[in-house]
């Protein structure tokens, strides 16, 4: 039997194979993961709720015979109910709220065979691209704990990068899977809109802008989990187009010769950091060397109009979600129960009229045509995920900075991810590069609507040609 200390070297499918071969029991994997949480969480603050006794009990029960049978797993403390567990949304206001039943996607994760161990850190209501909150405190990056782990799935990414678990639940509304994956050196796929159903608990998912999946260390774990969870429910009103074959098969297939556009074009027109630019150009050269047709070409969309169009609907969506939470909590939030940026978002949402929201949705839908049209003659679009190196803790501080300054800094650091939440396209961060300070640089590959298959094939090719699996952060399991 492998030693406990070596379990972190396996990905999720690898651990499940050990379970199937009876080389290890699910209970032993749970205990090993608990040991790693206890070792590393004092430094990282990645896990904010510990469901150890539940996990130990589940490990002794009959587990579904899914692809990840017996594999320890973590769930983000935002938007994903687990029966009997609290869900703070990263906020003082929601502390004490306990879910009475599993959410729809929680049930699908369980059917895949995973054993939930606890909840991971998230910023307040997932608003920022850094995981720092007054309620839960900052989550730190295993590569350098002075730096952010990204957000809003920062706790998930920190835990996976540190070898605590091989994959963990994450969600993405404006980049919240891809940003932490890039910061922590992981694979992070934002799936196509409605690929992973989030009903019956998907009220706050912004009409498909927000999606759930996982962050992982390997491409095949991401593919296998999406195979397990990514199918429509009978009542899905807008199911994603069906896949041609299992994604786990796609990672074994050649991507063929793809037409790949790359660019460092930003919404503001401001150039990105030179070190990120150099990494982008090396990635483009790597792709050309692999036989792909590689062209430098930006989206060329009206970014200002696109971002402005989404504002009223996004604000009203947040206010609607808060209204449901206020009903559940039983009172309006007190002044010290929400952070400044959250208060600003709530007040903005409450000011919107029905006409404002409908105009917002209409304009965004029409402007998305610009983004989608770009892919008529391009298979994949390549950019970095971040426009700068991974910032230090406190640079984007939603607790102490004025909201306008928080958003100004976020716009500079995270300029690339939002358009593909609006258009619903799949978009994946891969940890292809490292900066001069030893922190990861994530490259973002965006595909046509519903075409995760091409991204998985390309990602598997790059995983072989530029392998990241042997890199180890400073904090490791």
CA 45 to chain centre: 18
**Burial readout 310-331 (b: 16 or more C-beta within 10 A, e: otherwise):** bebbbbbbbbbbbeebeeebee
The pLDDT value given to residue 3: 53
In this prediction the pTM is 0.98
**What amino acid positions are annotated as catalytic residues?**
76, 152, 176
pLDDT reported for residue 403? 98
pLDDT of residue 237: 77
Q: % helix / strand / coil in the chain, to the nearest 5?
A: 40, 15, 45
pLDDT for 234 equals 81
- Give the single-character DSSP code of 157: H
Backbone φ and ψ of 211, nearest 5°? -130, 160
What is the pLDDT, as a whole number, of residue 200?
A: 67
pLDDT along the chain (477 residues), means of 10: 72 98 98 98 98 98 98 97 97 94 95 98 98 98 98 98 98 98 98 86 78 98 98 84 97 98 97 98 98 98 97 96 95 97 98 98 97 98 98 98 98 98 98 98 98 98 93 91
**Omega before 37 cis (within 30°)?**
no
Name the DSSP class of 98.
B
| CA–CA gap between residue 208 and residue 332 (Å, rounded) | 27
Q: What is the pLDDT of residue 204?
A: 67
Phi and psi dihedrals of 161, rounded to 5? -65, -30
């Amino acid at each position: 039997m492998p030693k406990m200390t070596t379990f972190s070297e396996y990905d999720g499918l690898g651990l499940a194979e050990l379970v199937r071969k009876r080389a290890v029991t699910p209970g032993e994997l749970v205990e090993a993961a608990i040991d790693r949480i206890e070792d590393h969480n004092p430094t990282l603050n990645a896990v904010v709720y510990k469901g150890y006794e539940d996990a130990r009990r589940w490990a002794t029960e009959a587990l579904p015979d899914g692809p990840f049978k017996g594999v320890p797993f973590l769930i983000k403390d935002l938007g994903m109910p687990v029966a009997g567990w609290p869900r703070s949304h990263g906020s003082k206001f929601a502390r004490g709220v306990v879910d009475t039943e599993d959410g729809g996607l929680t049930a699908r994760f369980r059917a895949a065979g995973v054993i939930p161990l606890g909840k991971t850190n998230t910023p307040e209501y997932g608003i920022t691209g850094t995981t720092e909150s007054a309620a839960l405190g900052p989550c730190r990056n295993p590569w350098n704990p002075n730096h952010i782990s990204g957000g809003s799935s920062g706790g998930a990414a920190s835990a996976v990068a540190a070898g605590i678990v091989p994959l963990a639940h994450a969600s993405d509304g404006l980049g919240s899977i891809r940003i932490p994956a890039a910061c922590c050196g992981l694979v992070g796929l934002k799936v196509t809109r409605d690929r992973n159903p989030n009903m019956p608990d998907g009220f706050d998912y912004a009409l498909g802008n927000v999606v759930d999946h996982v962050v992982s260390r390997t491409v095949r774990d991401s593919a296998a989990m999406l195979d397990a969870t990514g199918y429509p429910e009978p009542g899905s009103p807008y199911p994603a187009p069906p896949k041609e074959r299992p994604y786990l098969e796609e990672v074994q297939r050649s991507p063929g010769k793809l037409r790949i556009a790359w660019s460092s074009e930003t919404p503001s027109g401001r150039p990105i950091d030179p070190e990120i630019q150099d990494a982008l150009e090396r990635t483009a050269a790597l792709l050309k060397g692999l036989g792909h047709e590689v062209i430098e070409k930006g989206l060329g969309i009206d970014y200002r109009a696109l971002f402005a169009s989404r504002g009223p609907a996004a604000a009203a969506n947040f206010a609607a979600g808060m209204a449901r939470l206020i009903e559940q909590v039983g009172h309006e939030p007190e002044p010290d129960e929400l952070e400044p940026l959250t208060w600003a978002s709530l007040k903005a949402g409450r000011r919107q009229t029905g006409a404002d929201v409908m105009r917002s949705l209409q304009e965004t839908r029409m402007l998305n045509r610009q983004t989608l049209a770009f892919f008529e003659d391009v298979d994949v679009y390549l950019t970095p995920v971040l426009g700068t190196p991974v910032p230090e803790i406190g640079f984007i501080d939603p607790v102490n900075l004025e909201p306008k300054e928080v958003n100004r800094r976020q716009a500079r650091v995270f300029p690339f991810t939002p358009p593909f939440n609006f258009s619903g396209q799949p978009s994946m961060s891969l940890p292809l590069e490292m900066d001069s300070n030893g922190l990861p640089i994530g490259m973002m590959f965006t595909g046509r609507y519903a075409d995760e298959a091409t991204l998985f094939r390309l990602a598997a090719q790059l995983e072989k040609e530029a392998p990241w699996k042997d890199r180890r952060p400073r904090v490791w399991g």
